[in-house]
Amino acid sequence: MSQPASNTRLRSARHAAGYRSQQELATALGVGVRQVRRWESESPPWPHPDLQQALTQLLGQDMESLGFTPPAGRDRPDPVRRSLVGATVAAVGLAAVPIQSATAMQPASVAADFEAVTRSHRRLYWSVAPATLQPAAIAHASLGCALLPETAGQTRRAVAAALAETWMLAGRIEFFDLCEPERASQTLLRALQAAGEADDPLLGAAILAHTAFIPGWDGRRDAAVERMVAARTYARRGPASAEFWAWLDAVEAECETRCGNTQTALHLIGHAEDTLAAGSEHASPAWMDWFTPVRLAAFKGNTQLKAGHLPQARTTLLGVLDNMPATEDKQRTVICGDLAAVEAASGNPEAACDYACRALDQLEITWYAMGMDRVREVRRALAPHQNQQCVRDLDERLYGWSTTVSALAR
């Protein structure tokens, strides 16, 4: 039997926007499924003006491209006005997003395909050189910017969420791996705009927390705290997991430590430990792969070091080193650097140099600017012992051609 004639344009646009059933579209529009069924019939009735606007915004196309014919005597939509109906926010550097023609829309599968590359980049971060991965992430983000105006509805939100994660990854690389805070600030702003397109509050909270590191590192406490307040506000819309809340405490503790407020930082870390112990019914998002209880202990050890609690810091950091997964190469350089700092502050230059060299061994395999910063801080702390052979041996490792040029450039 032949299929009954129907409004194939609307049905195709619905599928492209990620609404697999008539009921899903009806729910998104706040109407009954019977109404959507009538619109997808051979002779769809002309919708009420409010529903026209909702349809064009959700599906990304004008009414005629969706298969509707204006009633006799009704003016056709003005093409200039039509181009502005679907505009939302000027996300990721794009201008107003126009209503697309039917042939310009991407299929719903584009979201899954784009997300797959984003997930791959997330995993590659832990092993691929940052100078190699960062351009790839930026190129992927450029693709997402091109795809965004060619999608609508759920498909658009999925692409926007993956785009936000990609920008966030690029911003993390620029700040933590390449030490380019100004560039990272602009990249994270694009990430926040894309998260807004996706209407994903947890992504927004994560991005805002990352932006707090930038003023925190410069000792600008007020700006860091303001961004953390915004991050916590977004997280409450989540819902956020216990791990997510604990990570927010850890980020704020890191900023407080950088600003010289170690007691406040230790209090925040204690609160984070209590939060993790209590747990929650909510799972952490898949993209939050940078935080674990071991990572929290690493934050704690660094804060204890800065607070002058050297025996406690040594115990905490040695525990981190013992429990750190084999894949945590970048973080291992930071922990070795902090242990070196503990020994330098304790008057043990040979032990300090040993840990610093272990960090340099790892940095030769996996570069991490934060790890190198820790080693340089240790070398400055070892100035009173610079005539000892262990310190001279460290200098031989530290001041090769490439590292010297890098140090002078900064």
Task: For the chain, report the end-to-end CA distance as a whole number of angstroms.
Answer: 74
Entry field: residues in the chain? 410
Find the mean pLDDT for residues 103-118.
90
The residues, ordered by sequence, that sit 6+ positions from 211 with a Cβ below 8 Å of its Cβ are: 185, 188, 189, 192, 227
Asked whether the beta carbons of 304 and 313 are under 8 A apart, the reply is yes
Looking at residue 401, what is its pLDDT? 57
Find the mean pLDDT for residues 323-340.
93
Looking at residue 102, what is its pLDDT? 43
Looking at residue 61, what is its pLDDT? 83
Looking at residue 73, what is its pLDDT? 57
Is residue 92 very low, low, confident or very high in pLDDT (cuts 50, 70, 90)?
very low
Looking at residue 87, what is its pLDDT? 36
Looking at residue 83, what is its pLDDT? 37
325 lies in the same domain as 395: yes
47: left (phi over 0), alpha (psi -120 to 50) or beta: beta
Burial class (CB in 10 A: 0-12, 13-18, 19+), 277: exposed
Tokens of 20: 């697999």
* pLDDT tens-digit readout, 3-43: 556 888 888 888 888 888 999 999 988 889 999 999 999 88
69, 97, 119 — which closes off a domain?
69
314 lies in the same domain as 399: yes
Burial class (CB in 10 A: 0-12, 13-18, 19+), 79: exposed
8-state DSSP, 92: G
Is 90 a residue whose pLDDT tops 60? no
Domain membership flag for residue 253: no
Q: What is the 3-state secondary structure (H, E, C) of 165-194?
A: HHHHHHHHHHHHHCCCHHHHHHHHHHHHHH
174, 199, 224 — which closes off a domain?
199
Mean pLDDT value across the chain: 88
Greater confidence, 369 or 303?
A: 303
Q: To the nearest 10°, report the CA torsion of 332, 334, 335, 338.
A: 160
Is residue 82 very low, low, confident or very high in pLDDT (cuts 50, 70, 90)?
very low
Greater confidence, 399 or 174?
A: 174
Domain membership flag for residue 287: no
Domain membership flag for residue 58: yes
49 lies in the same domain as 142: no
62 lies in the same domain as 135: no
Domain membership flag for residue 37: yes
Phi, psi (5° rounding) for residue 100? -90, 155
d(CA 360, CA 199): 42
Find the mean pLDDT for residues 360-368.
89
Tokens of 48: 């009420």
Find the mean pLDDT for residues 96-114.
71
Q: Where are the beta strands (DSSP E) in 141-253?
A: none
* Chain position carrying tokens 């791990």: 243
d(CA 205, CA 191): 11
d(CA 92, CA 167): 9
Is 99 a residue whose pLDDT tops 50? no
Structural domain total, the chain: 3
d(CA 377, CA 345): 11
194 lies in the same domain as 124: yes
Domain membership flag for residue 46: yes
Q: Which of 155, 160, 196 is nearest to 60 (CA)?
A: 155
Q: For residue 50, give the CATH number of its domain.
A: 1.10.260
Domain membership flag for residue 317: yes
Looking at residue 399, what is its pLDDT? 86
* pLDDT tens-digit readout, 200-223: 999 999 999 999 999 999 999 999
Q: Which of 323, 259, 270 is nearest to 299 (CA)?
A: 270
Looking at residue 72, what is its pLDDT? 74
Least trusted range by pLDDT, from 87-96, 110-119, 170-179, 203-212: 87-96
Is 369 a residue whose pLDDT tops 50? yes
349-352 long-range Cβ contacts below 8 angstroms, 24+ apart: 349/382, 349/385, 349/388, 349/390, 349/391, 350/388, 350/390, 352/378, 352/381, 352/382
Domain membership flag for residue 179: yes
406 lies in the same domain as 313: yes
The residues, ordered by sequence, that sit 6+ positions from 305 with a Cβ below 8 Å of its Cβ are: 313, 317, 338, 341, 342, 345
Calculate what percentage of the chain has a pLDDT beyond 70: 89
Greater confidence, 132 or 96?
A: 132
406 lies in the same domain as 327: yes
155, 182, 199 — which closes off a domain?
199
Residue 195 domain boundaries = 108-199
53 lies in the same domain as 114: no
d(CA 95, CA 89): 8
Looking at residue 5, what is its pLDDT? 63
Looking at residue 88, what is its pLDDT? 34
113 lies in the same domain as 58: no
65 lies in the same domain as 146: no
* pLDDT tens-digit readout, 226-242: 999 999 999 999 899 99
322 lies in the same domain as 385: yes
Is 284 a residue whose pLDDT tops 70? yes
* pLDDT tens-digit readout, 30-81: 889 999 999 999 889 999 988 998 888 888 888 988 889 888 755 454 443 3
Greater confidence, 87 or 363?
A: 363
Calculate what percentage of the chain has a pLDDT beyond 90: 70
Is residue 403 very low, low, confident or very high in pLDDT (cuts 50, 70, 90)?
low
Domain membership flag for residue 351: yes
